[in-house]
Amino acid sequence: MTSGANTKVDLVGKFINFYNRYEKLNLKITFSLISLQILHLYWLTTDVVLQKIFDESFFLAPKSLLPVFVVIDYIEIPALISGLIFYAYSIRSNKSTAKKSYLFLGLLGVQVIHIFWITDEVVYDSLFKSNFVEIPYVLSWIAILIDYLELPVMADLFYKVIKKKKR
């Protein structure tokens, strides 16, 4: 092995040791970041989906708070990174739950592809006939459904946080 390869192995080992030492904290951070997406899903459901279905917005927060929801949507990027690391580590450290961790890793992976594939602005513009970008209507609904794949991950992380507290 070359010294460059040894350095990389050393860095990975240090990261794994760090992650192992702070596993409970990392779990709580991951859960907190991903759970913020519930606010984004609230906006998406009430101001986009229900508006499209019923021709009326059910978004109860003042429109002046919409920038807060946008910032929360961008928190999805570190949330996904944290979630992907958490589940990859879980696969490595707990073989008995590896299949479930692979599932959640896959759901988060689809979210990553979703971020690069389409943004909510494109979805919003597509559903409400803006001239920003023209994408097929069906793809907009697929993109919206992909956003909801975070819900099972949130539930699993919540369960893990509660389970860790009991220990």
Please classify residue 18 by burial: count the beta carbons closer than 10 Å to its beta carbon, then call 0-12 exposed, 13-18 middle and 19+ buried: exposed
> Per residue in 129-163, is it b (16+ CB within 10 Å) or e — as a string?
eeeeeebeeeebeebbebbebbeebbebbeebbee
CA 4 – CA 49 distance, rounded (Å) = 51
Average pLDDT for residues 16-41, to the nearest whole number? 93
CA dihedral of 12, 157, 32, 52, whole degrees rounded to 10: 120
Q: If you average pLDDT over residues 105-112, what whole number do you get? A: 93
Strand, coil or helix: 93? helix
Looking at residues 4-16, what average pLDDT do you find? 78
Which amino acid is present at 34?
A: I
What is the mean predicted confidence (pLDDT) over 71-82? 91
Average pLDDT, the chain: 86
Tokens of 162: 């509660």
Question: In this model, does residue 95 exceed pLDDT 70?
Answer: yes
Q: Higher confidence at residue 77 or residue 8? A: 77
| Confidence tier at 15 by pLDDT (50, 70, 90) | confident
Kind plus residue range of the DSSP H or E element containing 128: none
pTM of the model: 0.82
Please report, for residues 53, 71, 126, 165, the alpha-carbon distance to residue 37 in angstroms, rounded to integers and kept in the order given: 22, 10, 22, 23
Extract the tokens encoding 5. 């390869």
- Give the whole-number percent of the chain exceeding pLDDT 70: 84
Residue range 110-148, pLDDT digits in tens: 998 777 665 556 566 656 666 655 667 787 788 889 999
Containing 46, the helix (H) or strand (E) segment is none
Instruction: Say whether pLDDT at 7 is over 70.
Output: yes
